[in-house]
Amino acid sequence: MNESCHKETLPNILSIGAAVPDKVVTNEDLEKTLDTSDEWITSRTGIKHRHVLEEEEIPSSLGVDASREAIEESPVGPEDIDLVVVATNISDMPIPGTSPFIVNELGLSSDVPFFDLKAGCSGFLYAIDVAANMIKGKGYERILIIGLEALSRVVNWEDRSTCVLFGDGAGASVIGARGEGGRILSTSMFGDPSKAKLIRLEGGGTRLPPAEGSEDDERYYVRMEGKGVFKSAVNMMKRSSLNVLEDAGLALSDVDWIVPHQANIRIIKQLAKSLGVEMDRIIVNVEEYANTSTATIPLAFKEGLDEGSIEPGDVVLLTAFGAGAAYGATLLEW
């Protein structure tokens, strides 16, 4: 049993905010610059559109917008936030991470602590687990967590096998020691470092620093072993889902909605099949936003709430996998 799973009642998700860039890139737009087709992308991935930052836009601004909405929709004010965790894989700059810029822009208290958390596309669920435990173990009361990613900045727009899959976005939640919203029933974090190279961006760090000519070197862009990711993703999301259910003493039949990481509709359908769950209990919005990494879970969860699918009292299962390979799940009652 994973050390980070808890049987006792955990804190609440008080609110969810989300933000995506205005600019939309359609499959038809990509057909003009790549040897690809709407038919190929749709049938292999379920993706039709992705929202992408303009060159002059700063990625952390998406995190700021999502956070403002999350704080507004929560019963607390900016002055009440006592910790900020930003789940992101590509910071605005290598040092410092993205979190101080978001804290500053939001005008939070000058002594609020903050840090970035890097756990692939599972970052938002890792952040829920960390926040819940910081509330339980360290006495924090209102933690702002953010899932923020601007993968458009690190994909090779000439590589049809990767660029069609991703979009930019951010989601945020206030996690509180008490209050309305989603009562967290169980959280889990898992990892499988033997799969560390399945999804990777090798260049630009300390092992392979930025260098002249790197724009022509594929190691400086996000790459992945597509088939390997596909196979592992289903197993990982299934394992973490069953783990939080067991931990909370619930069964899949008790779950009203599943919100999985939105990487690819075929992965989501395979997960549903593997769990024996009908697709009408799964929130899917990959068609509109593509894979926004750490932002997919809050974007899809918020859509489920805004459309009235997820209702008060519903049991909701969040599950994700990502680079590392890091994976995990959260079970909550909304």
Out of 5, 6, 51, 261, which one is annotated catalytic?
A: 261
Q: Which of residues 27-86 bind ligand ACO (CB under 6 A)?
A: 36, 40-41, 44-45
- Give the residue, chosen from 48, 136, 153, 160, that forms a contact with ligand ACO under the rule CB under 6 A: 160
- 6 as an active site residue: the answer is no
Q: Which residue is nearest to ligand ACO (CB)?
A: 226
- 133 as an active site residue: the answer is no
Out of 121, 243, 264, 285, which one is annotated catalytic?
A: 121
How many whole angstroms separate alpha carbon 79 and alpha carbon 108?
A: 6
Of 70-78, 140-148, 175-183, 260-268, the segment contacting ligand ACO by CB under 6 A is 260-268
Q: Which of residues 308-327 bind ligand ACO (CB under 6 A)?
A: 321-323
- Give the residue, chosen from 229, 310, 317, 318, that forms a contact with ligand ACO under the rule CB under 6 A: 229
Amino acid at 274: S
- 261 as an active site residue: the answer is yes
The mark string for 162-201 relative to ligand ACO (x by CB under 6 A, - otherwise) is: --xx---------------------------------x--
| 156 token code pair | 């090779």
235 binds ligand ACO (CB under 6 A): no
Cite the active site residues: 121, 261, 291
Which residues bind to ligand ACO, rule: CB under 6 A? Answer: 36, 40-41, 44-45, 120-121, 160-161, 164-165, 199, 224, 226-227, 229-230, 263-264, 266-267, 291, 321-323
